[in-house]
Amino acid sequence: MKIVLRQCPKMKKLTIITLIAALLLIPDTALARKKKKKYEKSEVQIEQPQVIDETPQPVVITNPTRQLYGEWDLETMRKKSVSTRERAYLYLDFKNHKVYGNNGCNDLNGRFQLHGTSISFLDMITTDQSCHSATSERTVMKTLSEVRSYKVTQLYGMEYLHLLNNKGNELMTLKRQNLDMLGGVWLVKEVDNTTVTEKNMRLVIDPVMQTLHGRTDCNIINGIITIDTEKDFAIQFEDLHSSEQRCDDMAAETSLLLALERAEYCKRINDQEVALLDGQGTIVLRLTRTTLDR
């Protein structure tokens, strides 16, 4: 006998109600777990930016003749920027204990006395040209007369000379004329990353007089140097010419002259080597210190 069960409307209604109740009774933890899994935040480690130390570092003076010798550009006076018509600078000549330079308008010269960290400028005289600039030349000369001591600091590879009064307050800050390292006689070691085989290719660079002299296998080279004091290690060689005698290897001389024309910056490699770079930072000349007698 076949039995057929029929679900009555009341039972169907009861089943639906039972299912709804079961859903309502689902533990809150299960739903929370599902939701938490979907929106759970992940921990992200944020790398802190590297802090660059912009504090000038003191320089220990062990050999003033070597460490202070040369040209220093005037940057600030009484903690204010200097604005002058001409480049204001001091040149300390330790051989004669003389000081030369320019106060922003007129050439100056005199002498200086240095004992330990004490320094003073004496018998200062200037030329008598009339100028109008934001920083008065008289203020420069008066401030120099108040100098009694000094200290040297370094920042980003540049050296600064701080001139102080008798109370230790800063009167002037000067930056080292940064091309002193180029002064001297140099053997041309490489041109455009090519080793120079010619042993007589030499350059004599004088940043103070801003002149260039040199020689190749058979020619003499002359030119002038332009220094941009607003940029660190900036130098350009202009008005280059040679004695134009025919050489066996004219290509080497031409490459040298073209490389000098492209040079815009210099870089110290070590005590005996420097490099000249173009505007993009590519080395165009590598020089090794030597002598004319070699």
Give the start-to-end residue ranges of the domains of the chain: 57-176, 180-290
Lookup: tokens for 10:
């009341």
Residues 6+ apart with CB under 8 A from 130: 105
Domains 57-176 and 180-290 share a fold: yes
Burial of 208 (0-12, 13-18, 19+ CB in 10 A): middle
Between CA 175 and CA 106 the distance in angstroms is: 20
Per-residue pLDDT of the chain (294 residues; tens, 9 = 90+): 444 445 555 555 555 555 555 555 555 544 445 444 444 544 545 455 455 557 889 999 999 988 898 889 999 999 999 888 888 999 999 999 999 999 999 999 999 999 999 999 999 999 988 887 767 888 999 999 999 999 999 987 789 999 999 999 999 999 986 687 898 999 999 999 999 988 889 999 998 788 999 998 789 999 999 888 778 889 999 999 999 888 777 888 899 999 999 999 999 898 899 999 999 999 999 999 998 764
The top-level CATH class assigned to 180-290 is mainly beta
Between CA 226 and CA 208 the distance in angstroms is: 11
- Architecture of the domain whose range is 57-176: Beta Barrel (2.40)
In residues, how long is the chain? 294
CA angle, residues 247, 186, 67, in degrees to nearest 5: 165
Question: Is 272 within 8 Å of 259 (Cβ atoms)?
Answer: no
